[in-house]
Amino acid sequence: MQISFKKYHGAGNDFVMINNLDGEYNTLSKEQIAFICHRNFGVGADGLMLLNKAEGYDFGMRYFNSDGGEAEMCGNGGRCIVRFAIDEKLCTADKQIHFIAADGSHEAIVLQDDIRIKMIDIESGIRFEDGMLINTGVPHFVQFMDHIDNIDIKVEGRKKRWDNRFGPEGANINFIKENSAGNLNIRTYERGVEDETLACGTGCVATALVYSTLFENVISPVKLQAKGGRISVFFRNDAEKFFDVWLQGPAQFVFEGKIEI
């Protein structure tokens, strides 16, 4: 079977996009998806997304990690699939866009090179002595540190990723350093990729919300510098949850092609 695809990245977090409006690729297996995402034998990507029909929405988003496992949401991927949908002429950049993923409905606004997507409402996280766990569509553990540049993310991230505190599926791990008020550096180990990624949208959201919980006088937006680029998180909150949460950053086309599986 030959599959046509386009590849995009959001701050270095890269994805294979497949137009699945006719449902032709609903039966892609975990092994096939992992092959497409493989950086030596396939296209190479942190994840794969199917753009589906969705009644009442501009489109539906189905997301898979590079190991072929399906996940509820991907923030950088959400921005990229919006760009893909515009390129596929399913919607236009001059109007608000509505799509649905496994974690619920989302809105998107195009701002020149950036895209801003609205995330789901998010409940307050669970505090631990060494950090905080919060679910932003997928679970993220956020740990603030003085020095993150010299950390071996693959080693340290993997240790925490399978921590018993996070349940049998584990969690994504984010190591954070504050540069100045409202400006953070972030490095993320992503489960499903099982490695460091150049950026993680849901991880940036998790970090911004944890930051506002643990530190006083944090003002929205929080700006984060990932290895692949800068991302901003806007939010409001009350005593129980965060709402009106928006993730903003780049979403750029890389190339298109065909692959035989």
Single-letter residue type at 148: I
Enumerate residues 6+ apart whose C-beta is below 8 A from 7.
14, 15, 16, 17, 43, 45, 253, 254, 255, 256, 257
Q: Is 131 left (phi over 0), alpha (psi -120 to 50) or beta?
A: left
Q: Helices 75-87 and 201-214: crossing angle, nearest 10°?
A: 140
- Give yes or no for a contact between 163 and 170, defined as CB atoms under 8 angstroms apart: yes
Among 74, 80, 91, 204, which one carries the catalytic annotation?
74
- Exposed / middle / buried, residue 61 (Cβ in 10 Å: 0-12, 13-18, 19+): buried
3-state secondary structure of 35: helix
Enumerate residues 6+ apart whose C-beta is below 8 A from 244.
118, 234, 235, 236
3-state secondary structure of 55: coil
74 is catalytic: yes
Q: What is the dihedral of CA 205, 210, 211, 215, to 10 degrees?
A: 160
Write out the DSSP string of 189-233: EETTTTEEES--HHHHHHHHHHHHHHSTT--SPEEEEETTEEEEE
- Give yes or no for a contact between 71 and 44, defined as CB atoms under 8 angstroms apart: no
Among 37, 80, 91, 200, which one carries the catalytic annotation?
200
Positions marked catalytic: 74, 200
